[in-house]
Structure 1
């Protein structure tokens, strides 16, 4: 079937191995055979179809991820599949951005590699970093080991990266921070180590479950602090205490300054200038006499 464009056999009870000759499907765009009982290795001896844009093989496949995945030219180069989908009106349900979405006429916008829930081993091939048009990469729930490819940041349109429940180790690549389209990330249940990058892109994904069950990871948003980091609560308490002390110091300082200016501004002048002192006390004597006279007149009027 060299003209086959879309193959969807998901959620059946198919068993056995996947055909080695699938590389001859030169026009294939979608291969979705997930949730069956297929086993064996993912065929790679003859290569993979170069036109493939959506690959979902959630079964019982074993072995390693084929290193020839960079032969999927539709994901390596800017390539439009619009014309191939013109006559396609059926719906396909795909897992993307952490949830199941239904596609039909918009299917040509979707680029997915989903090899999750298999028994794959070995490292993630560095060739994956060449699939620059990829939108979703899901390799979770396997037995993958090694480090995350350092050039993972080359996947400029990647929106979903799921690598959870594997045995990956080492630091989180710094290039991950350059994935400006990334909206769903899951690195939980691995053996990753080191500080989580504080880049703007990763801090927008403020969810500790992304990194949970990686005992050697540290930094925000995890509660585990990296060596040399101060405890935020203690730092906040110290800042608040310093702020209160500064407010008290300013308050008492203003009282003392007001007292000095007020007291010595009046009393100091009276001590220094005799004429002002005489006028000051004479003024209060006159007021006293006027008040006493007013009281006496009021009393006499009542009598």
Structure 2
């Protein structure tokens, strides 16, 4: 059974559109290449749309409606899907895209992102959030996702941008020392760059996000927000976030400068603890 054949149209509006795109194409006896001419993509692009790996853009929905004279059905369905925003099962979808990814870029401005968190720091954040019934289970899930991502290095390129204030806002103590030391260790295996405080306000203040390029060449994004955020498949939106990432990166320190900054903060933290003990 192919991915398109196993797609459940009852799970989401996006799946419903993908299912009926294939159903109506076959009912009209169109090949995927012929459908590609309508949508402006190649045969592989149609296959990805019908399997739910890619999602119809607004322009593609408009093309389908025009050629099939649907009265605007696909464009309206797409509008409802976007309006609903957060997908059910977004966490599983995110993990599926991250698994086997070729390239992942992450920007975080408020906390250390999951792939770089120590277990103690992750537990601290989860407890502070007060939104989960079982802290231990939540920590295990977070650490499992981290392990999955780090195990893909170096076959996968992982790029991370973090605001400097995140490094300072952790409470001084063993947890902070361990987290900073962990960052230094990981920085030898991935690209970690710090956006310094002197950069002041930058475009990243709008919120955290992640960009993913899969092994199949599919580009998606995830925007973090209250109650989970949302996955983004629209190529225009993904490109826009890619430009945002580049603009934030233009304000960041180099990898070597970032390591120096982390090391300086770590040494300063250690120095204060020694002074307090004396």
TM-score by length of 1: 0.22
Larger relative CO (CA 8 A, sep 6+): 1 or 2?
2
* Rg (Cα) greater in structure: 1
Greater helix share, 1 or 2? 2
Greater strand share, 1 or 2? 1
TM-score by length of 2: 0.23
